[in-house]
Amino acid sequence: MAANSGPLLAVEHLTMRFGGLIAIGDLSFTANHGEITSIIGPNGAGKTTVFNCITGFYKPSSGRILLAPDGPADAGEVAQLTRSARRWMKASNGSLFLLERMPDFEIAAKAKVARTFQNIRLFPGMTALENLVVAQHNALMRASGWTVLGMAGTRGYRTAEARTLDLAKYWLEKVDLIDRADDPAGDLPYGAQRRLEIARAMCTEPKLLCLDEPAAGLNPKESSDLKSLLRSIKTEHKTSILLIEHDMSVVMEISDHVVVLDYGEKISDGPSDAVRNDPKVIAAYLGIEDEEIEQAEAEITR
């Protein structure tokens, strides 16, 4: 899948208004198959709003969010789908999804877009293992014949449940929480909760993983572990990642592609090196340039 050309996610002319406030104004960007795409920007730039639009928690005011998980989308078919009232279609090159038309749970279940939250949202009263089992709800629900076969305890359901546990165990090992599998998620330390939330999102077997500030509050060791985890998700699991992050060491090191937002608009877009040296980005982060500061100071003292 990594060999696919063409974007996995294409956000086009996305606008999100809250009353008179324009949180995102005419934003367009793409995220490619098998890449880590980062969205950065100062506080209040609209990054989480973009996430909420992509994952269906907000209905965008206008714009199109196209997900083509199986390969490059054919422009004609995309136009056809957009004209129709449908939310997705089976195209010649796999399925196409118009995320702005889909409710949140359907985006996760059908379009296979998983997400984590800026303020961790685990199920604190359930164990780490249970958290990962709940994440596989839809697969297990089908296997349990919408509960009928499950009540009967058929072999099909039991094997499906065993598979569920295997996947959960795999991810617990991967995020180094296997020893705490039977501990309630609410009892885990902060960094472990962050890792568990990523593992839980991965248990839905997503095509696109959206991470909202996964490195927030982590110490340097945990940050570097996170980097290798994200790299392995990208390469071993062929899951593309959309990342919101303030920790520039994480962003610059692992991103294939960086999109910079400020006041709801895109101010820069490209590989991490190019973005890092973009004067507009520097201005957005540091305010104004040094000479201007000197000028301003001179004016004040005068």
Strand partners, 266: 261
Question: Which residue, chain included where needed, has tokens 């296979």?
Answer: 112
> For residues 13 and 59, which CB has a smaller minimum distance to other proteins in the complex?
59
Segment contacting other proteins by CB under 8 A, of 2-10, 108-116, 234-242, 267-275: 108-116
> For residues 48 and 204, which CB has a smaller minimum distance to other proteins in the complex?
204
Cβ neighbors of 262 (< 8 A, separation 6 or more) are 41, 42, 45, 284
Binding mask 127-146 for other proteins (x = CB under 8 A): x-xx--xxx-xx-xx--x-x
For 55-113, give the DSSP string.
TTSS--SEEEEEE-TTSPPPHHHHHHHHHSS-SEEEETTEEEEEGGGS-HHHHHHTS-E
Question: For other proteins, how many residues bind (rule: CB under 8 A)?
Answer: 46
What's the 3-state SS for 182-250?
Answer: CCEHHHCCHHHHHHHHHHHHHCCCCCEEEEECCCCCCCHHHHHHHHHHHHHHHHHCCCEEEEECCCHHH
- Cβ atoms of 104 and 121 within 8 Å: the answer is no
Cα 255–240–225 angle (5° rounding)?
55
The alpha carbon of 8 is separated from its chain's Cα centroid by a whole number of angstroms, namely 12
> For residues 8 and 172, which CB has a smaller minimum distance to other proteins in the complex?
172
> For residues 26 and 183, which CB has a smaller minimum distance to other proteins in the complex?
183
* Distance between CA atoms of residues 26 and 63, nearest Å: 8
> For residues 104 and 269, which CB has a smaller minimum distance to other proteins in the complex?
104
Q: Kindly state whether residue 118 participates in binding other proteins, applying the rule CB under 8 A.
A: no
Q: Kindly state whether residue 57 participates in binding other proteins, applying the rule CB under 8 A.
A: yes
> For residues 44 and 125, which CB has a smaller minimum distance to other proteins in the complex?
125
Cα 101–103–106 angle (5° rounding)?
110
Segment contacting other proteins by CB under 8 A, of 109-117, 221-229, 254-262, 283-291: 109-117
Q: Kindly state whether residue 170 participates in binding other proteins, applying the rule CB under 8 A.
A: no
Q: Kindly state whether residue 239 participates in binding other proteins, applying the rule CB under 8 A.
A: no
Q: Kindly state whether residue 114 participates in binding other proteins, applying the rule CB under 8 A.
A: yes
> For residues 150 and 264, which CB has a smaller minimum distance to other proteins in the complex?
150
- Contacts of other proteins in 146-165 (CB under 8 A): 146-147, 150-151, 165
- Contacts of other proteins in 275-294 (CB under 8 A): none
Query: Could you give the 3-state DSSP secondary structure of residue 142?
Result: helix
Q: Kindly state whether residue 123 participates in binding other proteins, applying the rule CB under 8 A.
A: yes
Q: Kindly state whether residue 181 participates in binding other proteins, applying the rule CB under 8 A.
A: yes
Interacting residue with other proteins among 121, 158, 238, 280 (CB under 8 A): 121
- Cβ atoms of 102 and 110 within 8 Å: the answer is yes
Max CA-CA distance within the chain? 85
Cβ neighbors of 79 (< 8 A, separation 6 or more) are none
Q: Kindly state whether residue 104 participates in binding other proteins, applying the rule CB under 8 A.
A: yes
Give the binding site for other proteins (CB under 8 A).
55, 57, 104-110, 114-115, 117, 121-127, 129-130, 133-135, 137-138, 140-141, 144, 146-147, 150-151, 165, 169, 172, 178, 181-184, 186-187, 200-201, 204
